[in-house]
Amino acid sequence: RKEVEQDPGPFNVPEGATVAFNCTYSNSASQSFFWYRQDCRKEPKLLMSVYSSGNEDGRFTAQLNRASQYISLLIRDSKLSDSATYLCVVNIVDNFNKFYFGSGTKLNVKP
């Protein structure tokens, strides 16, 4: 079983739409959670960290449900520039910080 699972998509949405991505993780010892954005043939870049209380950054809202081991990302008022692959990442601190990556959800925002 994969440590982190995501729906690969693609999600094809019109500009201005609201879109939500989900992610589940298998290890209850996971301690930190993140969403990264990856453009085609580029490196991943941190979009936002995810906290139990939920957090918002402009049009982006992330939520964490530890009981269900579930992370979500909501994008409101989608822009063409939001088109990318969104990676869900969890961090397990055992004797070293190891990060586990989902395979990503692809978003295409159409005019």
Partner 1 sequence: DGGITQSPKYLFRKEGQNVTLSCEQNLNHDAMYWYRQDPGQGLRLIYYSQIVNDFQKGDIAEGYSVSREKKESFPLTVTSAQKNPTAFYLCATRKVNGETQYFGPGTRLLVL
- Residue 71 · residue 50 · CB < 8 Å: yes
Task: Out of 22, 55, 103, 108, name the contact with partner 1 by CB under 8 A.
Answer: 103
Beta-sheet pairing, 84-93 with 32-38: antiparallel
Number of residues that bind partner 1 (CB under 8 A): 23
Q: With CB under 8 A as the contact rule, which of the stretches 13-21, 40-48, 60-68, 75-83 interacts with partner 1? A: 40-48
Amino acid at the residue 93: V
| Whole-angstrom distance, CA of residue 75 vs CA of residue 10 | 15
Footprint (CB under 8 A) of partner 1, residues 53-72: none
Residue given tokens 């992330």 in the structure block: 62
Binding of partner 1 by 87 (CB under 8 A): yes
Q: Which is nearer to partner 1, 6 or 63 (CB)?
A: 6
Amino acid at 46: L
Binding site for partner 1 (CB under 8 A): 2, 4, 8, 32, 34, 41-46, 49, 87, 91, 96-104
